[in-house]
Amino acid sequence: MENKIYSRIVSTGRKLPKNCVTNTQLAERLAKEGIETSDEWIRTRTGIESRYFASGDETTTSLGAEAARQALTRGSYDPKDVDLIIVATTTPDGVFPSVACRIQAVLGCTNAGAFDIQAVCSGFVYGLSIADGLIRAGQLNTILVVGSETFSGLLDWSDRGTCVLFGDGAGAVLLTRAQQPGILDWELKADGTKGESILAVTGHIRNGKVYGDPYIRMDGKGVFKAAIESMTSSAKSVLSKAGVSPKDLSLFIPHQANLRIMKVVAEKLGVSPDVMMVSVDSHGNTSAASVPLALDKAVEDGRIKRGDLVLLQGVGGGFTWGSVLLKY
């Protein structure tokens, strides 16, 4: 019989900054600058109750390294066993070296290659799919996939339509070669024509200066609609390729941006609300970190058992989106 190669998640980890800010605390802070918002508005429009902001020596690298270290420890793997580190981030600590190289140094993964990928809120799903492809091709055995962000640094505190939505954090998985799946299927998509018009930070550094706008600008309603359409079609496509019914899912982990978006997608797919993982309430939209944060929380809460069917979904800037279907 043919000996197939698969990839499988061995363990997960997460790290949130120390500073947790509730909606009420944020509203009080913004009120001092003349910006009006409320716990009630944020909670009912987004499902968010609090978020974490990096401070002091907390960086995209330090958060990502701690999440990755936890995944390695829980999987009983040595840093030297890691072949590759992929970090999904849109908020690197510098233009280069990459966050992945910085994490490689912090953890002492001396046998690993390392690179970052930038697919904004879809970044983790992109990274996991790339890692699965490299393991299935027989090239590598052990890959750390990290989503780490300090999005607070991109927020315009005078724009209440965005600054209440995002937070900082990191999540990680350790993916290894296996004889049984593991990751069953995935799909990655993008529509660059929507790129700058609905969600973007257009600013960039050149010749020692920042050109363009260094803050997140978003057409909230445009993103809302595009997110629902793309997540629904991507989920249907991956599930049908794998011959899996939405009713067979043990857990659905959509990108944690807005509870209203997540509920509409679940309803359109026919996935019961009980099967949907929700962690956006406690950490807001953490971009590439949102899916691995939610996954790690689900594992910790005992909501996923080995062998369960789980659907992960990312969607965001680019415009990008994607789904990964796996057997945990």
**Residue 101 among the catalytic residues:** no
Among 82, 114, 125, 227, binds ligand UT7 (CB under 6 A): 227
Span near ligand UT7 by CB under 6 A; candidates 42-50, 91-99, 264-272, 304-312: 42-50
Helix segments in 203-289, DSSP class H:
220-242, 259-269, 280-283
CA distances from 30 to 27, 146, 160 (A): 5, 32, 9
Among 161, 212, 270, 273, binds ligand UT7 (CB under 6 A): 161
- 220 near ligand UT7 (CB under 6 A): yes
Among 29, 43, 45, 189, binds ligand UT7 (CB under 6 A): 45
**Residue 285 among the catalytic residues:** yes
Task: Name the phi and psi angles at 92, rounded to 5.
Answer: -65, 160
Among 5, 10, 29, 41, binds ligand UT7 (CB under 6 A): 41
In the region spanning residues 295 to 324, those forming contacts with ligand UT7, defined by CB under 6 A, are: 316
At a CB cut-off of 8 Å and minimum separation 6, what does 322 contact? 119, 122, 125, 126, 129, 186, 187, 188, 189, 234, 313, 314, 315
Residue 133: its H or E element: helix 123-136
Among 257, 259, 309, 311, binds ligand UT7 (CB under 6 A): 257
In the complex, what is the shortest distance from the CB of residue 320 to ligand UT7, in angstroms, rounded to a whole number?
Answer: 10
At a CB cut-off of 8 Å and minimum separation 6, what does 158 contact? 33, 35
Which residue is catalytic, options 23, 101, 109, 121?
A: 121
Span near ligand UT7 by CB under 6 A; candidates 2-10, 36-44, 143-151, 239-247: 36-44
Residues 41-52: b if buried by 16+ CB within 10 A, e if exposed: ebeeebbbbbbb
- 26 near ligand UT7 (CB under 6 A): no
Active site residues: 121, 255, 285
